[in-house]
Amino acid sequence: MATAATPATNMAMIKPCISSSRKVFMSSTASFSTESKEASWNRLTSSSHISSSFRSIFSAPIKFKKVVTRAMSSENENKPLPGLPVDLRGKRAFIAGVADDNGYGWAIAKSLAAAGAEIIVGTWVPALNIFESSLRRGKFDESRVLPDVQMMFPEDVKSNKRYAGSSKWTVKELVESVKQDFGSIDILVHSLANGPEVTKPLLETSRNGYLAAISASSYSFVSLLKEFVSIMNPGGASISLTYIASERIIPGYGGGMSSAKAALESDTRVLAFEAGRKHKIRVNTISAGPLRSRAAKAIGFIDMMIDYSLANAPLQKELSAEEVGNAAAFLASPLASAITGAVVYVDNGLNAMGVGVDSPVFVDLDIPKDKLELDVEIPTIFVNWTS
């Protein structure tokens, strides 16, 4: 039998303390206060804290950098917003799997921050140096801007060189560190996936490659929730990311990744029952459409998948990461208090299609299409399985 490696973390603590004229935070956080241009947000206060990481359950280490941003108005902090808003003020979220600013993890973190939540961001060790360098050099400046014109990561976080280095490596140690510094969380987001043999067909996938995909893309979610549930507040929410390959054939999406996503969706339902009954925590997963992210480019044909979606989805537009982020913010909010155990599709409706309408078979049918985007020939996807 194969044995599963125990995930490991090591938390390095940075504890800057900056006090504002209106609020002073404890030594484990940094407080920032600036004037907002919007009347409904008189003051934005952000607390930032960095720590590190855990080792991947299959072998590669993972490091978690905690960057906390809390948006809240000083005068109306405890008053409900008008209408029916997604209001996450007073909530704290941990987002695992943020490596750059063009993936779903970043978009979810940004949407949660825009809704008022504190965010703690985690990234993979192999991507950590690139992430830190890009943050400090200003490559993320444009995408860091929140709706109220404040920055998701304050300047102190972007420029602080003390955040490098870490020593703890288990998920349990990670949770203990978060508990020590913040007490509890309300939202857990799993945006991790890795399949080292994703370009191989399933028939050619090795046992190690298959188990690695399951470990990083499915069991890592179980592992995170299992440990974090002890410090999650009742009524909290957990969200992961899945893909339509879990239930439909996507040629080229191999290496056991389709199996891993199917396992993730099954685990979502089981965990919704167990975490719901025992801890009153909701568990959902978002089945997101294709996005031209850094991770997706590793598959090798992401552009063709986006073109296919444009040609065949009910909504003929390219999916944005922000749309997935906003769906996550909704699922994490009290507005979704009765939703758990669900697979929520955010893919312009592609999941509903039984056939591809760009097929020559339907050439004589009068199928409406967006001429602005689709007056080009969409290439047929062909995957060469030979090495």
First-to-last alpha carbon distance for the chain, in angstroms, is 30
What's phi and psi for 98, nearest 5 deg? -100, 115
- Which long-range contacts (C-beta less than 8 Å, at least 24 apart) are formed by 151-156? 152/69, 152/109, 152/110, 152/113, 152/119, 153/48, 153/67, 153/69, 154/30, 154/32, 154/46, 154/48, 154/69, 156/16, 156/18, 156/30, 156/32, 156/48
What is the C-alpha to C-alpha distance for residues 277 and 19, in angstroms, rounded to an integer? 41
Contact status, residue 329 vs residue 107, Cβ threshold 8 Å: no
Q: Is the pLDDT of residue 257 over 80?
A: yes
In the numeric block, which tokens belong to residue 7? 């995930």
Q: Is the pLDDT of residue 300 over 60?
A: yes
Per the annotation, the verdict on 218 as an active-site residue is yes
Answer whether 0.95 is exceeded by the pTM: no
* Confidence band of 375 (pLDDT split at 50, 70, 90): very low
Q: Across residues 36-63, what is the average pLDDT?
A: 35
Nearest CA to 64 out of 220, 207, 208 is that of 220
The mean pLDDT value of the chain amounts to 75
Q: What is the pLDDT of residue 57?
A: 31
More confident residue, 61 or 354: 354
Q: What is the pLDDT of residue 328?
A: 98
How many other β-carbons are positioned within 10 Å of the β-carbon of residue 305? 20
% the chain with pLDDT above 90? 47
- Which residue among the candidates 261, 287, 293, 333 is catalytic per the annotation? 261
* Confidence band of 333 (pLDDT split at 50, 70, 90): very high
- Which long-range contacts (C-beta less than 8 Å, at least 24 apart) are formed by 364-371? 369/311, 369/316, 370/316, 370/317
Of the candidate ranges 82-91, 186-195, 235-244, the one whose mean pLDDT is the lowest:
82-91
Q: What is the pLDDT of residue 134?
A: 72
Q: What is the pLDDT of residue 78?
A: 63
CA 130 → CA 99, 152, 223, distances in Å?
A: 8, 18, 26
- Which residue among the candidates 48, 218, 220, 259 is catalytic per the annotation? 218
Q: What is the pLDDT of residue 148?
A: 63
Of the candidate ranges 129-133, 175-179, 316-320, the one whose mean pLDDT is the lowest:
129-133
